[in-house]
């Protein structure tokens, strides 16, 4: 592990830690006003600083460094939703509610704590966390094995067996991770102890991505181009989802699929043959042709235009200029005493974080 670069999706990790230990009154409140009434029950320091997410993240980070012993580590965060993707599509992430104030405060603080502890933390107004992760992967993957740690399936597009880039996908529960261990490692007599991964995580190779998603890592953006992504409000093409894996297995990309459609559209006989091929050879019972080629009215986004835009929105940027070298991410710069100091300052028991 010492010769491995772990890139942590800090936004995903902190959010997961925040929602994992919220008081029941907030979890089951039906309105924002009702939730706010119970903010005082969220774990906090004596001075009122909210700490439930920070506590969980510090515990995870300390465990990661102690047990997995990476040689290099980086933390990437989202700073705003108004990145370049909003310029492409104003409704991008438009269905998400506002970040709760207790979580927002902890984002600002955890970034400062990690930087003070010697870690490199990357975020900006222009790009998202996964864009920084993708750019780090592309910059360093030829130098050493790289792992991205997240629960966001967008990151699966970065997995590359040739360059030994893997994804530590955080599962909602340990039971789900155990199911994956049993499914993929059980036949080889391996257990999670043998693999040595963080809690609730499963390491995805390209083969695992294909087995679980139905497409290869490089096709994740094509998958989202047609299926869309409700969490990010990426529209996709409505009415096609179940047909996407077989279509991508045949054509590889969204662009190649539409090229085949346009070629067939020049002749009615060819178009019928194409749809018969989809049904008989690809096993698509209901033709997605109309949905794939629908043209919008009154500015409606659909068909090919929706597919192309959605793919672009789902594509992680991998060429952000980064004036950093591998040594800048060395774990040797990590100062455990800083995290311990913050534990005392925030009234967090050190033994709960460091064991």
* Mean pLDDT, range 10-28, rounded to an integer: 95
Tally the residues of the chain. Answer: 355
214, part of any domain: no
Please, which pLDDT band fits residue 299 given cuts at 50, 70 and 90? Answer: confident
Is 248 in the same domain as 295? yes
Is 89 in the same domain as 108? yes
Is 106 in the same domain as 229? no
More confident: 344 or 95? 344
Is 112 in the same domain as 246? no
Is 81 in the same domain as 140? yes
| pLDDT > 80? residue 13 | yes
Is 334 in the same domain as 300? no
Is 291 in the same domain as 334? no
| pLDDT > 90? residue 42 | yes
Encode pLDDT of 78-109 as tens digits: 998 888 999 999 999 988 888 999 999 999 99
* Mean pLDDT, range 103-121, rounded to an integer: 97
Is 133 in the same domain as 250? no
Residue 288: which domain range? 220-314
Phi, psi of 35 (to 5 degrees): -65, -45
Residue 292's CATH number: 1.10.150
Please, which pLDDT band fits residue 6 given cuts at 50, 70 and 90? Answer: very high
Q: Which residues of 244-265 are buried (b: 16+ CB within 10 A; e: fewer)?
A: bbebbeebeebeebbeebeebe
Is 111 in the same domain as 226? no
95, part of any domain: yes
The 3-class secondary structure across the chain, one letter per residue, is: CCCCEEEEEHHHHHHHHHHHCCCHHHHCCCCHHHHHHCHHHCCECCCCCECHHHHHHHHHHHHHHHHHCCCEEEEECCCCCCCHHHHHCCCCCCCCCCCCHHHHHHHHHHHHHHHHCCCEEECCCCCCHHHHHHHHHHHHCCCCCEEEEECCHHHHHHCECCCCEEEEEECCCHHHHHHHHHHHCHHHCCCHHHHCCCCCEEEECHHHHHHHHCCCHHHHHHHHHHHCECCCCECCCCCCHHHHHHHHHHHCCHHHHHHHHHHHCCCHHHHHHHHHHHHHCCCCCCCCHHHHHCCCCCCCCCHHHHHHHHHHHHCCCCCCCCCCCHHHHEHHHCCHHHHHHHHHHCCCCHHHHHC
> How many separate domains does the chain show?
2
**Hey, what are 202's tokens?**
């499963």
164, part of any domain: no
Instruction: For residues 336 and 61, give the distance between their C-alpha atoms in angstroms, rounded to a whole number.
Output: 11
Arithmetic mean of pLDDT over the chain = 95
Residue 108's CATH number: 3.40.50.1010
338, part of any domain: yes
Please, which pLDDT band fits residue 1 given cuts at 50, 70 and 90? Answer: low
Note the pLDDT of residue 309: 96
Is 298 in the same domain as 335? no
Encode pLDDT of 215-244 as tens digits: 999 999 999 999 999 999 999 999 897 899
Is 296 in the same domain as 346? no
Query: 201 has which bridge partners?
Result: 170
Instruction: For residues 15 and 72, give the distance between their C-alpha atoms in angstroms, rounded to a whole number.
Output: 23
Instruction: For residues 340 and 337, give the distance between their C-alpha atoms in angstroms, rounded to a whole number.
Output: 5
Question: Quick check: 7 and 137 in contact, CB under 8 A?
Answer: yes
Is 147 in the same domain as 16? yes
Encode pLDDT of 265-280 as tens digits: 999 999 999 999 999 9
**Hey, what are 35's tokens?**
């939730």
**Hey, what are 247's tokens?**
């279509």
């Amino acid at each position: 592990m010492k010769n491995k670069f772990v890139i942590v999706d800090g936004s995903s990790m902190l959010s997961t830690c925040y929602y994992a230990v919220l008081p029941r009154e907030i979890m089951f409140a039906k309105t924002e006003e009702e939730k706010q009434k119970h903010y005082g029950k969220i774990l906090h320091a004596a001075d009122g600083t909210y700490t439930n997410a920070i506590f969980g993240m510090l515990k995870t980070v300390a465990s990661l460094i102690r047990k997995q012993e990476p040689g290099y580590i980086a933390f990437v965060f989202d700073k705003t939703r108004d990145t370049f993707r909003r310029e492409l599509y104003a409704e991008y992430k438009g269905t998400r509610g506002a970040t709760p104030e207790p979580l927002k405060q902890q984002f600002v603080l955890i970034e400062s704590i990690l930087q003070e502890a010697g870690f490199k933390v990357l975020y900006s107004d222009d790009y998202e966390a996964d864009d920084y992760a993708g750019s780090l992967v592309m910059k360093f993957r030829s130098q050493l094995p790289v792992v991205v740690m997240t629960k966001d399936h967008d990151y699966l597009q970065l997995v590359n067996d040739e360059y030994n880039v893997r994804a530590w996908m955080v599962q909602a529960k340990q039971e789900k991770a155990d199911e994956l261990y049993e499914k993929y490692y059980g036949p080889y007599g391996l257990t999670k102890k043998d693999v040595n991964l963080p809690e609730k995580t499963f390491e995805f190779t390209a083969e695992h991505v294909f087995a679980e998603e139905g497409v290869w890592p490089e096709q994740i953006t094509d998958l989202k181009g047609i299926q869309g992504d409700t969490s990010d409000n990426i529209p996709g093409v409505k009415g096609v989802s179940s047909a996407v894996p077989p279509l991508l297995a045949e054509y590889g990309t969204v662009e190649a699929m539409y090229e085949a459609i346009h070629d067939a559209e020049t002749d009615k006989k060819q178009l019928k043959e194409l749809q018969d091929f989809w049904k008989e050879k690809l096993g698509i019972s209901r033709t997605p042709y109309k949905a794939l080629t629908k043209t919008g009215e009154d500015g409606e986004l659909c068909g090919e235009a929706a597919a192309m835009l959605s793919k672009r929105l789902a594509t992680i940027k991998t060429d952000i200029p980064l004036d950093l070298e591998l040594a800048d991410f060395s774990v040797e710069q990590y100062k455990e005493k800083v995290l311990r100091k913050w534990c005392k300052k925030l009234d967090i028991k050190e033994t709960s974080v460091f064991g």
